[in-house]
Structure 1
Amino acid sequence: MTNAAAASAPSKVLVATDLSARSDRAVERAVLLAKATGSALTILHVVDAELPRRTADRLVDEARELIGEHVAALKGAEAMAPDIKVVLGTDYKEIEDVALKSGCELIVLGVHRNETRDLFRGTTAERVIRSRACQVLMVKARPQSDYRRIMVGVDFSDCSRRAIEFAVKLFPNAEFHLVHAFDVPFKAFLRSDDTRQEVSRSHEEEMDRFVKGDFPALLPLLQAAPARVFQVLKQGPARDVIQDQVDELKPDLLVLGTHGRSGIAHVVMGSVAEDLLSYPPCDILAVRP
């Protein structure tokens, strides 16, 4: 990673762990990210404040010891001297509070053991993503290397632009697949192939204008290595197109832009993103405007 790229990356990363195996994957990914970007790393565990005080104190000590052992077992992690915090409170509230007070720009979470399509709403991850803290990376897979193939859902909004910018700055050595789903208006009444092709060409032109527009992070990549940025346009419902492209491309990371104030209900492509976050096919980065 170049110095310029590193300077654009988050200077502080927070990873929250519930000490489960899935959270261990998040810690390992956060360590890789912090090493690659030179970011300061905080590892946080929250003990339920409603537990009896003696029990809570014991769990605090045990958590600190377990996290220390995990860090010691990760190559190069101890040398980074991560800040280990174990606090009493409510998980998502403490995650947001620590992130805001410490100035973290990226929160890393594991996929919760109880997270399913029906249970996602109201879970720690959903509440953290809805908060105004910062960007959130949900880690599903155990990391083996840096992210190499990244897929970004695009709807030509400023949220999409922000998502691409953040991902390129954070992972400048990856290849990017920008995926846009479109439909043909009144297609049941439009039998002409010429009409369908015209709609497709219109979206291709809009994608080209979008990619070649005001992209301070993406333009240098296009100039230096244009073969690492791919534009994918597919006709069909966004839900089907995104899932099909995940199946076909098998990305290491899926990036989605959120619309901020209204949170998860208005993530780019709406309920499609909510479904993906509730049952992630791979690691997912949710980027706020």
Structure 2
Amino acid sequence: MRILLAYDGSPAAETALGLAISRYGDDELVALYVAEVDPTTYDASAFGGGTDDVPDSDEAEAVLEEARERAVQEGYELETAVEQGSPSDVIAEYADEHGFDQIVMGTHGRQSISEVIVGSTAEQVVRNSPVPVLTVR
């Protein structure tokens, strides 16, 4: 199975990482960090559109490196990816476009005030995902 772990380094994401490693460690496990970008104020094409140009890419890589190290300590491999955009949209689209069988994510990540008002990222992913979503409290 191919498992996509939505990962932002939050306590809920850490819990989801632990569960994903213990339950799916022998499967292909990919941690995805989504750098939230407001498309009305950020134009990736102006910066070449590469991962190095994603706002907060240094933070994303640091967070993902910690997750990768945790997986290695427990005897498993963890691939990583960084994308930009609206986290709920990007997570669901990434899972669909890359042929994942399931998404694992925490129920509460790093939230902006708009997420509190509009609904959590996890809730939106569950509603829009083309594959099953395992949410972890």
Quick check: TM above 0.5?
yes
Residue 284 (1) aligns with residue 133 (2): yes
1:200-259 Cα offsets, whole Å, 9 max, x none, are 2742x32332233277851335xx554xx2212112222331122121122222111013
Residue 200 (1) aligns with residue 64 (2): no
In structure 2, what is the equivalent of residue 249 of structure 1?
Answer: 98
Contact 2:26 2:76 in 1 (8 A): no
- Summarize the Cα distance change of 1:252–1:194 in structure 2 as closer, same or farther, 3 Å threshold: closer
Candidates 42, 48, 60, aligned match of 1:187: 42
Contact 1:254 1:285 in 2 (8 A): yes
- Summarize the Cα distance change of 1:239–1:278 in structure 2 as closer, same or farther, 3 Å threshold: closer
Mapped partners of 1:198, 1:161: distance in 2: 24
Q: Which runs of 5+ in 1 are unaligned?
A: 1-147, 261-265
- Summarize the Cα distance change of 1:244–1:211 in structure 2 as closer, same or farther, 3 Å threshold: same
Query: What's the CA shift for 1:173?
Result: 0.6
Query: What's the CA shift for 1:196?
Result: 7.8
Query: What's the CA shift for 1:164?
Result: 0.8
> RMSD value over aligned CA atoms?
3.4
In structure 2, what is the equivalent of residue 159 of structure 1?
Answer: 12
Residue 176 (1) aligns with residue 49 (2): no
Report the TM-score, using the length of structure 2 for normalisation.
0.70
Contact 1:153 1:160 in 2 (8 A): yes
The answer to which structure, 1 or 2, has the higher relative contact order (CA under 8 A, 6+ apart) is 2
Following superposition of structure 1 onto structure 2, how do residues 67-82 of structure 1 map, counting pairs within 5 Å? none
Contact 2:6 2:105 in 1 (8 A): yes
Query: What's the CA shift for 1:198?
Result: 5.4
Residue 275 (1) aligns with residue 130 (2): no
Candidates 220, 233, 245, aligned match of 2:73: 220
Contact 1:154 1:178 in 2 (8 A): yes
- Summarize the Cα distance change of 1:150–1:193 in structure 2 as closer, same or farther, 3 Å threshold: same
Q: Indicate the SS of the match to 1:231.
A: strand
- Summarize the Cα distance change of 1:196–1:184 in structure 2 as closer, same or farther, 3 Å threshold: farther
Letter in 1 for 2:54: S
Following superposition of structure 1 onto structure 2, how do residues 11-26 of structure 1 map, counting pairs within 5 Å? none
In structure 1, what is the equivalent of residue 112 of structure 2?
Answer: none
Letter in 1 for 2:82: L
- Summarize the Cα distance change of 1:210–1:282 in structure 2 as closer, same or farther, 3 Å threshold: same
Task: Indicate the structure (1 or 2) with the bigger Cα radius of gyration.
Answer: 1
